[in-house]
Structure 1
């Protein structure tokens, strides 16, 4: 999960397979695989998942797969929930190491759907990351969500700590709050504006050992 002591694990967010080899060469230890980054990421195709797993596992890197049926909001219909469950099964069969999703309802977590999908993932031996749907919640709801996610056994939460587009240096105070709420029960994975130039600074300021982004490693 985390890197070796003193080493910051860099999770590279990949929209497809094109830049994954270069990211691995540049030091990425884990890949978050998705499609359609323009809308925040959706579930990639099965072919892309299988190819990424083959490539990354051969190089000693892990693969986290986005499970999200569409762009837009994070409140899902029963039909969309079924799609997510099916996609999760396919990703597990393709050999991913974990899945990334987030389900909201009425200003908080959609606890029944999150619980269902987390249980399914863990039964398949997969880690779970709560993705940046977390940042759609206000601070009070985020603190409640951390308690719920920890109780579900979710391994990590991916968060920018503020509105998209705000420099991560300005969201560090709130990210520190989130880290304190988590209190070691799950990993806080900072993302959104983390680059290979500021990754060590961000990790050091927060006391975390993992960072996430499309620029966390230097690519040509």
Structure 2
């Protein structure tokens, strides 16, 4: 029996385009210091031009490859059975006119959504009735209610998304970030299952 080597695949990782993927790029390794340094630089895969933006690695194929390279070692898997390597695409700075158009589109769309919601629930009538119940006088535009309500609406959105521009208010994730995280987990699970199905078809 050879020396024990424990391998734990990362859930996912980002890889530059056309890069040689080494074991340390996609996995954590626990072994003696001599073997750890050698295994970390073990060649696993060469990202090719025809690869799109995702490459999925299976622990069994990795162990099989490492066993061929180092037959005197015994490999044990811990953790996930697959890892997803997202091939990084160089970021391109968007044109100012495109950013301005998207910002204007979102601004108008969100403004229309808020106004339509307030119209559906008759918010102005509610505020008028609140003003009459508190003061006993009729007022078509109770500004002392409407102005704080408008300011509070904006502050409430800031607290909800937990961001002021790019600055986070506190370490707690916002509901939007939680939903994005759940969506990403479902996407990763679909990718691994879909990749395994394609691999089975190719084997058949």
**TM-score, L = length of structure 1:** 0.23
- Tell me which structure has the larger Cα radius of gyration: 2
